[in-house]
Structure 1
Amino acid sequence: MEARFVDPWTPKQSQQIASHGGLIIQTGPEEFIVAGKGMTLTFPDRADGTLTGIESVQEGRLVGEEWQGGRWLNGDQTHQGRHIRLPPDDFSIQRIRLYSYR
């Protein structure tokens, strides 16, 4: 996974890049919870040629240790499965499931 902290869809001069950041927690073999703002995650090809795809993305929140899901994100929000985006102007938490293929 690769993280970038300049949001490509927001003019750079209007971003406060020093306030961008996040946390990535692996909760399963191909499942993660990401939290933060101003972060874009992509999934480069692995050294062995395996590719990674985005199976699902759901906004939500953690209440204690329980995930409370909200809105499911689709191709409009994931750029047809190319990345996970946490917008720079609002903190968000997303649960993502990935898959691998050749």
Structure 2
Amino acid sequence: MCSAQCGSGLVLTFEPEDSGTAPEKKLGEDGFLASGSDRGAEKESRWKGKRIGLASVKEISIADDGSQKRIRTFNGDETHQGRHVRIGVDDFRILRVKLYEYE
């Protein structure tokens, strides 16, 4: 699986099409999980079924002729160990994301 995303002010996460078993997550305004008492209920529920992880994330640029050039490759700290990737507000990027599926 592969996907290309671009934009600003985004938190990108991926789920399998057939997922309906994922626990509901309460996100703060920055797109990350809310803190404090809001997280207590989530610890009790377990994800069942398949999940999607980020195998690789590369920031790219696109030349006038349409070719892609890799600017850099994100590491585990920047993809939150393959769970999601964030593009901050006023920070425009094009990301090429390879996904994998696991249980």
TM-score, reference length from structure 1: 0.64
Partner secondary structure for residue 90 of structure 2: coil
Q: Which deviations, in whole Å up to 9, do the C-alpha atoms of 1:25-62 show, x marking residues without a partner?
A: xxxxx111111000001124624822111100011112
After the TM superposition, which parts of structure 1 deviate over 2 Å for at least 4 consecutive aligned residues? 43-48
Partner secondary structure for residue 77 of structure 1: coil
Corresponding residue number in structure 2 for 1:54: 54
Corresponding residue number in structure 1 for 2:28: none
- CA shift at 1:93, angstroms? 0.8
Distance 1:44 1:100 in 2: 9
Unaligned runs of 5+ in 1: 1-29
Corresponding residue number in structure 2 for 1:70: 71
Whichever of the two has the greater Rg, that structure is 2
Percent pairwise identity: 40
Which amino acid in 2 is paired with 1:50? K
Distance 1:55 1:95 in 2: 11
Unaligned runs of 5+ in 2: 22-48
Distance 1:66 1:100 in 2: 28
Distance 1:79 1:101 in 2: 17
Deviates more, 1:31-40 or 1:41-50: 41-50
Distance 1:50 1:80 in 2: 17
TM-score, reference length from structure 2: 0.63
- The number of residue pairs the alignment matches comes to 73
Distance 2:53 2:72 in 1: 20
RMSD of Structure 2 on Structure 1 (CA): 1.7
Q: Which deviations, in whole Å up to 9, do the C-alpha atoms of 1:66-98 show, x marking residues without a partner?
A: 211111001111111110211112111110000
The structure showing larger relative contact order (alpha-carbon pairs under 8 Å, at least 6 residues apart) is 2
